[in-house]
Amino acid sequence: MDLQLSGRVAVVTGASKGIGLAVARTLAEEGAHVVAVSRTPSDALADAKVTHVAADLMDPAAPARVVARAVEEFGGLDIVVNNAGGPPPGTTLPRAGFMTPDDADWAAMFEFNLFAAVRMIRAAVPHLLERGGGSIVNVSSTMARQPSAVNVDYGAAKAAVLALSKSLSAEYAPQGIRVNTVTPGAVLTDWWTKEGGAAEVFAGMVGSDRDSVLTEVAPTMMGLATGRLVHVQEIADTVALLASPRSGSTTGAEFVIDGGQLKEI
């Protein structure tokens, strides 16, 4: 299926690894001009037709610089994928309990997961309107839908992303800008697999080992009907479809990709 993305200009944040890397590569393969945003470039993008822009999204001025670079490089902007999120730089998740994060932890979590997206959208909207519309895809988390005593601040920030997407879709749909949310569950990324990552932290909590957490403990604890963590390409394919004009009547929607974790109606 032709997604009609050839020649369109996309900004993808958090594009050096995991979901963002898969999204950037997928959009580029579909013919889009991709501005891949991350603090450092990724060797995994070396063979992809993307333009890397180094930016620390904890800097309030960074989103405007990124959008300006995309417009300067390619003459406009059609797609924004706010994927950057998770633990802010220097933070290790998971962490248990409401009393664990302090004010600074809460502020950093919202800065990285919510305000960076707010600023990126604020910078992008005028350029999307100049093109007659476009697509914004925000990445949330099932922790926004199924809060727990683990990662309380993260879940709250991602719930705010859901609310933001709904509000934006209502305001800008008449002007041709579609805003949707992709809500991943547990995705097999570096966040889980790296040394000292979530799998090792969980292993220490439950008295298991890293590999068992990835293949058995986490899928069982989280109630994943598929019995496995989600693959990044499964997220990227959904983002690409939402970015496409072929989803022209889809806005204000949330696409949950979680291996069957969320079961409520």
Q: Which domain holds residue 206?
A: 186-229
Q: Model-level pTM?
A: 0.95
| 66 and 133 belong to one structural domain | yes
Is the residue at 78 inside a domain? yes
| 200 and 244 belong to one structural domain | no
| 23 and 68 belong to one structural domain | yes
What burial letters (b/e) apply to 206-241, b meaning 16+ CB within 10 Å? eebebeebbeebbbeebebeeeebbebeebbbbbbb
Residue of 56, 6, 14 whose CA lies nearest to 182: 14
| 147 and 162 belong to one structural domain | yes
| 225 and 103 belong to one structural domain | no
The type of residue at 83 is: N
| 241 and 175 belong to one structural domain | yes
* pLDDT on residue 120: 98
C-alpha 242/C-alpha 125 separation (Å) is: 17
Is the residue at 3 inside a domain? no
> What residues act catalytically?
154
Any idea of the CA torsion for 14, 183, 196, 110, to the nearest 10 degrees?
70
258 CB-contact burial (10 Å; exposed 0-12 / middle 13-18 / buried 19+): buried
Is the residue at 152 inside a domain? yes
| 135 and 168 belong to one structural domain | yes
How wide is the angle at C-alpha 125 spanned by C-alphas 120 and 126, nearest 5°? 125
Query: 93-145: per-residue pLDDT in tens?
Result: 889 999 999 999 999 999 999 999 999 999 999 999 999 999 999 999 999 99
Residue of 56, 50, 90, 89 whose CA lies nearest to 73: 50
* pLDDT on residue 253: 98
Is the residue at 1 inside a domain? no
Write out residues in the chain with pLDDT < 50, as ranges.
none
| 162 and 107 belong to one structural domain | yes
| 98 and 222 belong to one structural domain | no
Is the residue at 60 inside a domain? yes
CATH assignment at residue 74: 3.40.50.720
| 127 and 214 belong to one structural domain | no
| 105 and 160 belong to one structural domain | yes
Structurally, the chain folds into a number of domains equal to 2
| 28 and 49 belong to one structural domain | yes
